[in-house]
């Protein structure tokens, strides 16, 4: 007989303790410890050391054949880009996002596209009935005889249906609703999520079928539950965007088969998600011309250059401590660049409120946006507008120097394609690369030189 014991598991970080506590000592969250029953084998395991018990033997890495993994390409190039070139057979992919952002819509459209390629697709919904899924499929025109829909939450039945249908693509929506009968805790708990994901990973690797699972997110925007869920899967994708805006961004934060810096942009329509072929044009279409505090930066999102507008508003503070707010960039970057402008350029910004925003809901985290942010802050402070056909690229150091950045040629080419006439870049980046015909290159060594070139001096 197996002995049963009680343990308490934190639903946020997975910390285990034999007694209940109000506050988790690992993640410091309150009221997250939930009671779970575990079975402990009463007899000890015996280990067999005979050669016949060893199923697999280690191989020399030099004798292992290198084979390029074939990929399943979808009809959405943006999804293929984020995944690193397509869906890898046998991969386990986790997609997270806020409720109502469009995760189920995206996966149902992908399922329909693969089903139209004569591939058997199994869409398992633990949150909706088959009729509800059919209503969404009618609206999206995602209908195919090769698309199978199942409303099930029992992991054993899910495994049996995958074995019976033998699909080429599986969607689990969502992993927090699936449970195993052997585990006594409630669906969505740490133990259930861990065991069900392990079972799905075994199925994916054994049968070579790609499985996409949907994960709920917390109010902070991270995948709900412990981090072990993200460690177990092959790729983690976040579907981002504001519910009141139509644009959605699919971003990769982990990918064993490609880059983690790629980004796909979609627009939510009545008939589903539509890809945005030229995101730079979309982000700049409502840009105000000749307004102080507005600059444009050419940022790299993976292998794709994207032109985004950065807006700043500098105003005298009415409080003892001036406010610093940033949307779309790291908050700590704003006071750092303001300190550089104050110390190296002589701008008195210590009594000014600063509000910096990246327009379009994009999040930028590369250092090449420093120069554009600094020029935007200086432009708003002096109430002088930069030229509307200028684009700024460069990293700013603490001594006020403008440092070189990577992939400068792709950035400048994207700016020239959208009609920009001048690019202010680090002087160290001027070298062995071809400059487009219709754009002027201005190399600068410091923030002072950049301000003089764009605003006519500090």
Give binding residues for ATP as ranges: 97-104
CB 250 within 8 A of CB 111: no
Centre a 10 Å sphere on the Cβ of residue 392 and count the other Cβ atoms it contains.
Answer: 30
Omega within 30 of 0 (cis) for the link into 24: no
Cross-strand bridge partners of residue 404: none
Residue 84, C-beta contacts closer than 8 angstroms, at least 6 positions apart: 252, 255, 257, 258, 259, 262
Return the biggest CA–CA distance within the chain.
84
Q: How many angstroms separate the CA atoms of 263 and 261, rounded?
A: 7
Q: How many angstroms separate the CA atoms of 226 and 193, rounded?
A: 9
Written as six digits, the tokens of 104 are 């189920």
| Phi, psi (degrees; rounded to nearest 5) at 221 | 100, 0
Omega within 30 of 0 (cis) for the link into 174: yes
- Can you say which residues are annotated as belonging to the binding site? 97-104
H/E stretch holding 309 reads strand 304-316
| Phi, psi (degrees; rounded to nearest 5) at 101 | -80, -25
């Amino acid at each position: 007989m197996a002995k049963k014991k009680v343990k308490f598991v934190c639903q946020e970080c997975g910390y285990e303790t034999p007694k209940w506590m109000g506050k988790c000592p690992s993640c410091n969250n309150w009221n997250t410890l939930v009671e779970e029953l575990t079975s402990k084998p009463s007899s000890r395991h015996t280990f067999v050391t005979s050669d016949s018990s060893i199923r697999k033997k280690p191989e020399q890495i030099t004798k292992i054949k290198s084979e390029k993994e074939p990929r399943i390409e979808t009809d959405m190039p943006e999804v293929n880009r984020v995944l690193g070139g397509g869906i890898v057979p046998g991969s386990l992919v986790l997609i997270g996002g806020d409720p109502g952002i469009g995760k189920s819509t995206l996966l149902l459209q992908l399922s329909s596209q693969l089903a139209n390629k004569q591939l058997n697709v199994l869409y398992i919904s633990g949150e909706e009935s088959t009729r509800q899924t059919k209503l969404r499929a009618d609206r999206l025109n995602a209908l195919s005889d090769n698309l199978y829909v199942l409303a099930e939450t029992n992991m054993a039945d899910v495994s049996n249906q995958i074995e019976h249908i033998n699909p080429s693509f599986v969607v689990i929506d969502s992993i927090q609703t699936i449970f195993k009968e052997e585990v006594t805790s409630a669906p969505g708990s740490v133990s259930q999520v861990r065991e069900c994901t392990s079972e799905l990973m075994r199925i994916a690797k054994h049968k070579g079928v790609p499985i996409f699972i949907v994960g709920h997110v917390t109010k902070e925007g991270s995948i709900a539950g412990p981090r072990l869920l993200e460690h177990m899967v092959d790729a983690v994708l976040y579907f981002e965007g504001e519910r009141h805006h139509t644009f959605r961004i699919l971003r990769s934060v982990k990918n064993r088969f490609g880059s983690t810096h790629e980004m796909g942009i979609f627009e939510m329509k009545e008939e589903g998600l539509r890809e945005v072929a030229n995101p730079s044009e979309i982000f700049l279409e409502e840009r105000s011309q000749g307004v102080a505090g507005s600059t444009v930066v050419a940022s790299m999102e993976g292998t794709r250059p994207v032109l985004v507008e950065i807006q700043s508003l500098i105003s005298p503070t009415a409080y003892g401590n001036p406010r610093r707010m940033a949307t779309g960039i790291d908050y700590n970057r704003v006071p750092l660049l303001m300190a550089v402008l104050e110390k190296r350029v002589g701008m008195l910004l210590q009594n000014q409120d600063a509000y910096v925003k990246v327009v379009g809901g994009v999040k930028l985290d590369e250092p090449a946006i420093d120069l554009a942010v600094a020029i935007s802050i200086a432009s708003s402070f002096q109430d002088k507008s930069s030229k509307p056909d200028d684009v700024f690229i460069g990293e700013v150091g603490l001594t006020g120097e403008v440092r070189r950045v990577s992939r400068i040629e792709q950035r400048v080419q994207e700016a020239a394609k959208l009609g920009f006439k001048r690019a202010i870049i680090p002087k160290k980046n001027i070298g062995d690369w071809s400059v487009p015909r219709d754009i002027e290159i201005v190399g600068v060594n410091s923030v002072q030189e950049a301000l003089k070139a764009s605003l006519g001096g500090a």
